[in-house]
Amino acid sequence: MRFISRKSQLLTSVFLTLFIATTAMKCEKSGKDVPLTDRKPKAMGEVAKVAILVPDETYVACKSAIKTVYQAPLDGMPGYEPHFNVNHGNDRNFTDYFKHNYNLAVLYQQDLRSKYVKAIGSDLVKMLDEKLASGSNFFVVKDLFAEPQEVCFILGKDTADLRENMITNAVKIRDLAHKTEEKTTIEYVIRGKKKDDKFFKAMQRRLGYGFRTPSNFTVSVRSDEFNGVNRWFGEKRSAMYLYEETYTGDEQFTQDYIIAKRNAMVGKHIEGPDRPDSIRTYMTTDTANVITHSKDITLNGYRAVETRGWWELANEFMGGPFVCYTIHCPDINKVVTIETNVFAPGKSKRVPLRTMELAASTFEVKK
């Protein structure tokens, strides 16, 4: 069965010739995408899911490496939740369902090249051989089968070589998958136009900054110092909040300061259920039972710190994961925090949390 038309193969051949002639650097060093100009079908997929093309025998042999790359445990969780679910397509069933995914990885084992020729065509396989010969371990092609899409090719001469390249570059490849999701999946999460996003427009008007609201979220709180949206689905709740303070120095980006500020703000504004004894319940950070993780990131061009951990209600048995982004906005001399948290007892928290992370990535200051 042919998976690519002759016309598509010719177009791909033209692209590959140009690609090989203009770059010999590893993509992980250059950071450049490889565009195709042919009109493509609309990409599809799900949040926190990566589709991979790999023959069955390679999948079995590399299963632990695949888990190391894509299914490493999320930080800030008391139990195991992976970064991504993996959807496996082999050389016999690499249909459009897999081919048109937003976030697609091809695990290329050269000594099984004939299987890949059947799935993706001889021109692409020839390019993979060229890249492997040049010493490349992995690289990205943009909008290869659909758009918007990024396809990550991970290369190895045989099973052992492929497995080693995956494990050696695990963090880079996983970060790349997150960045791909951020660039390609945002319209799936937002599902609306900026001009129709009432919360975003209100925040831009009142505060001079904001983020796009995920689909089906509604305004939950609005005040001079604390604003937010949430979504209830049965007993599950997802929430995003905004608060700010004047920038005074880099001490505002240390984990201790971030957690103290977080506790003060959510403790004041997010209360739990009433108790018969009238003791107040309020949100805080569980630092005794779950490790809190922080790292420096760039959020839509702004310097920021991402902090992951576990929230709990003081004086009540409730909790869930949170991710907060502490963002430096020098144009307005502010430190803005986006707080996201999930309550989903007994359910997976990864997808709702990742949905809000993608929404947070749209943060911008009004020009």
Q: Is the pLDDT of residue 2 over 90?
A: no
| Mean pLDDT across the chain | 89
Q: 262 and 180: one domain? A: no
- 260: in domain: yes
Last residue of a domain, one of 121, 150, 184: 184
pLDDT band at 38 (very low <50, low <70, confident <90, very high): low
Domain range for 238 is: 192-365
Last residue of a domain, one of 184, 216, 246: 184
Cis check: omega of the bond before 73, within 30 degrees of 0: no
Q: 249 and 101: one domain? A: no
Region 331-347 average pLDDT: 96
pLDDT of residue 6: 37
Per-residue pLDDT tens digits for 231-267: 998 889 999 999 999 999 999 999 999 999 999 999 9
CATH number of the domain at 319, please: 3.40.1000.10
What is the number of structural domains in the chain?
A: 2
Q: 140 and 236: one domain? A: no
Sign of CA dihedral 338, 343, 346, 352: negative
Residue pair 84/71 in contact (Cβ under 8 Å)? The answer is yes
Last residue of a domain, one of 140, 157, 184: 184
Region 1-5 average pLDDT: 34
Of residues 224, 223, 222, 198, the one with CA closest to residue 212? 198
Q: pTM here?
A: 0.84
pLDDT of residue 29: 38
Per-residue pLDDT tens digits for 150-190: 999 999 999 999 999 999 999 999 999 999 999 999 988 99
Region 129-142 average pLDDT: 96
pLDDT band at 40 (very low <50, low <70, confident <90, very high): confident
Q: Which amino acid is at 130?
A: E
Q: 113 and 180: one domain? A: yes
Which distant-in-sequence residues (6+ apart) come within 8 Å of 10 by Cβ?
none
Q: 151 and 197: one domain? A: no
What DSSP state is assigned to residue 251? G
Q: Is the pLDDT of residue 348 over 60?
A: yes
